[in-house]
Amino acid sequence: MQISAQGQRVLGCLVEKALATPDQYPLSLNALRTACNQTTGRDPVVNFSEEDVRAGIDALKQHQLVKTEYARGSRVPKTAHRLGDQLDLDEAQQTVLALLLLRGPQTAGELRSRSGRMHTFGSVELVEAILGSLAAHRFGTLVELRPREPGRREARWAHLLGPAAESTATASAPSASSSGRYRRFHDAVLAGDWNTAVDQLARDVTFRSPAVHQPYEGRLATATILRAVAKVFEDFRYTDVLDEGDRAVLVFEARVGDRELQGIDLLRFDDDGLITDFTVMIRPLSGLTALAQRMQALLENSGTAP
């Protein structure tokens, strides 16, 4: 089975949205185009036109991997995938394939950290087992383990559903001056993997809260705040990234009770790629106030309030 690059992106997006946001699935042409052109969770980042998305849908129809549906009372056609039906894949297998379609070759550890919104893997070993099942699938080899590239510590897995799209990442391991250092923290947060997220903090990191004048110093204090925020935020999602190599701005949206808020995480990195300076800004004031009140109550109950 050889699917075009457009078809690969469309299929990956359909599987991702079906598992991560089922209430918004299946997808209209406009919603599917937006999903294809996301700047987060995609490598390479693309700028598909409606014609590109239609071409991707047509490519998938040749393999009976998509179907068109109409909601009751609506004339807007929506597209759903048939990956599980056509290739007899369960949710875990679909998740791994979707990540490989959307982000290119990855290690088992990266796949686990990035899968949280679609499917939760309890260990890297479980991901490796799924990869093994896809590599020995009865319908043919769907993934392969590529030889370890120079400068990389681990070999990466790639899908075999079509020619690989040109990646925006370099083939060698990221250097101290390269971009993309935000990814480990960004992906761990979205996956709810707070141990990995905290590991991206330098021991002497400085955390500046939007609600407290005095900064928090050190990894332990910052980790306490981040874990508390994770309990308070609902529907948290990153919506954009501005990457400048030694610093990055992660734009997010979330909800605290009935208050919607928007904010940014401003991160600065040291030569080892660890976060040394972490500043959070949030709007509007009503959202920030709701967050501050919830955080204060939570930290007081745990005995860690400033």
- Domains of the chain, by residue range, sit at 5-159, 183-302
Q: Report the pLDDT value the prediction gives residue 168, as an integer from 0 to 100.
A: 52
pTM (predicted TM-score): 0.58
- pLDDT at residue number 216: 93
High-pLDDT (> 90) share of the chain, %:
59
Q: Which residues contact 177 (CB under 8 A, 6 or more apart)?
A: 245, 246
User: Can you tell me the distance from the alpha carbon of 192 to that of 190, in angstroms, rounded to the nearest whole number?
Assistant: 5
Q: How confident is the model at residue 192 (pLDDT cuts 50, 70, 90)?
A: confident
Cβ burial, residue 60 (10 Å; 0-12/13-18/19+): buried
272/280 Cα distance (integer angstroms): 22
How many CB atoms lie under 10 A from the CB of residue 276? 18
pLDDT tens column, 85-99: 999 999 999 999 999
CATH code at 5-159: 1.10.10.10
Nearest-5° angle of CA 107, CA 14, CA 182? 40
Beta bridge mates, 69: 78
18-27 pLDDT per residue, tens: 999 999 999 9
Average pLDDT, rounded, for the chain:
88
Res. 211 pLDDT band, cuts 50 70 90 = confident
* Topology annotation, domain 183-302: Nuclear Transport Factor 2; Chain: A, (3.10.450)
Average pLDDT over residues 55-80: 88
Question: Which residues, including other chains, have CB under 8 Å from residue 208's CB and lie 6 or more apart?
Answer: 215, 216, 277, 278, 279, 280
Which DSSP symbol is given to 1? Answer: -
Backbone angles phi, psi at 27, to 5 degrees: -110, 140
- For residue range 97-109, what is the model confidence (pLDDT) as tens digits? 999 999 999 999 9
